[in-house]
């Protein structure tokens, strides 16, 4: 049985073409043993194309490629036809059909799939971080976070953490209670990445009563009393003053609005 060589040519890493080639080779009993593959990544110059086709001719190889730039595709096809080399275009037929259906020209930018994958994994990592360091579970997360949210109970710290995590920010949130000393890590971080969430006592009184009722409890518990809430907010302001961070009033704000305030603040600081 003869040996077969496949040249994998890509203007990015070449993982897509490599996986397709391996999938095809696996359909033959001795495919992976008799078929060798050589990957040529980040091919973005026509002179590289000419060299690769020359090597393919010397080794009697088949070229399998994923090139997003039309001029590069045409150059490779012309070189292969001239040298009598078999080449297989994995990407262009699909891209061209999608272009026709959408009436839109492709971007022709190499590596976009990899960028999307990296973006996805960063988002997942941020979401897992927000869950792990939610509600002050582990103060070590405060030092690792991109954003730290501080506030009394029921100021939307958890949903805000998750919303920001979907924007790829690692967020830790810390509840403040007068009877419990705040973690020392709060005073060790850069105040610029910390945001205190405050709410009017009346609004918080209403929210907490509704919460107790939803849990099947009486709404006159200490947790929902106005004097207790005012005590917590005084404690909150004392801690925030010591940290020196930005305070956001969330009384009449949706989670998305509060998140936009935080993101705008971060963007303005980087200008």
Residue numbers belonging to the annotated binding site for ADP: 151-158
Kindly provide the residue ranges of all beta strands, DSSP E only, lying in the chain, ordered along the sequence: 4-10, 35-40, 62-66, 87-89, 147-151, 171-175, 194-198, 246-249
User: What's the distance, CA 33 to chain centroid?
Assistant: 38
Asked if residue 21 lies in contact with residue 95, where contact means CB atoms within 8 angstroms, the answer is no
Buried b (16+ CB within 10 A) or exposed e, 71-104: ebbebbbebbeeeebebebbbbeebeeeeeeeee
For residue 9, give the DSSP letter.
Answer: E
User: In degrees rounded to 5, what are phi and psi of residue 105?
Assistant: -80, 140
**Whether the Cβ atoms of residue 72 and residue 44 lie closer than 8 Å to each other:** yes
Angle at 70 between CA 65 and CA 72, to 5 degrees: 55
Closest CA to 164 of 199, 206, 201, 193: 193
Annotated binding site: which residue ranges?
Answer: 151-158
CB contact set of 26 (below 8 Å; sequence gap of 6+):
32
Say if residue 207 is exposed, middle or buried (CB neighbours under 10 Å; 0-12, 13-18, 19+): middle
Using CA atoms, how far apart are residues 246 and 38, in angstroms rounded to an integer?
Answer: 55
Residue 232 CA, distance from chain mean position: 35
């Amino acid at each position: 049985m003869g040996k077969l060589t496949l040249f994998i040519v890509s203007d990015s890493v070449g993982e897509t073409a490599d996986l397709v080639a391996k999938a095809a080779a696996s359909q033959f009993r001795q495919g992976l043993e008799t078929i060798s593959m050589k990957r040529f990544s980040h091919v973005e110059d026509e002179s590289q194309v000419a060299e690769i086709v020359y090597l393919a001719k010397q080794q009697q190889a088949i070229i399998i490629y994923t090139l997003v730039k039309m001029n590069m595709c045409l150059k490779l096809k012309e070189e292969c036809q001239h040298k009598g080399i078999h080449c297989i275009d994995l990407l262009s037929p699909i891209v061209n059909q999608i272009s026709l259906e959408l009436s839109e020209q492709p971007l022709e930018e190499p590596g976009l799939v990899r960028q999307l994958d990296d973006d996805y994994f960063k988002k997942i990592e941020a979401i897992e971080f927000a869950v792990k360091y939610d509600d002050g579970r582990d103060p070590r997360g405060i030092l690792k976070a991109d954003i730290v949210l501080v506030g009394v109970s029921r100021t939307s710290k958890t949903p805000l953490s998750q919303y920001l995590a979907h924007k790829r920010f690692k967020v830790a949130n810390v509840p403040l209670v007068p009877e419990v000393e705040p973690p020392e890590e709060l005073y060790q971080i850069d105040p610029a990445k910390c945001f205190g969430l405050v709410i009017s006592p009346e609004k918080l009184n209403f929210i907490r009563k509704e919460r107790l009722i939803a849990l099947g409890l009486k709404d006159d518990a200490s947790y929902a009393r106005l004097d207790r809430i005012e005590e917590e907010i005084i404690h909150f302001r004392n801690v925030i003053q010591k940290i020196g961070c930005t305070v956001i009033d969330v009384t009449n704000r949706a989670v998305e609005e509060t998140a936009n305030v935080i993101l705008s603040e971060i963007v303005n600081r980087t200008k």
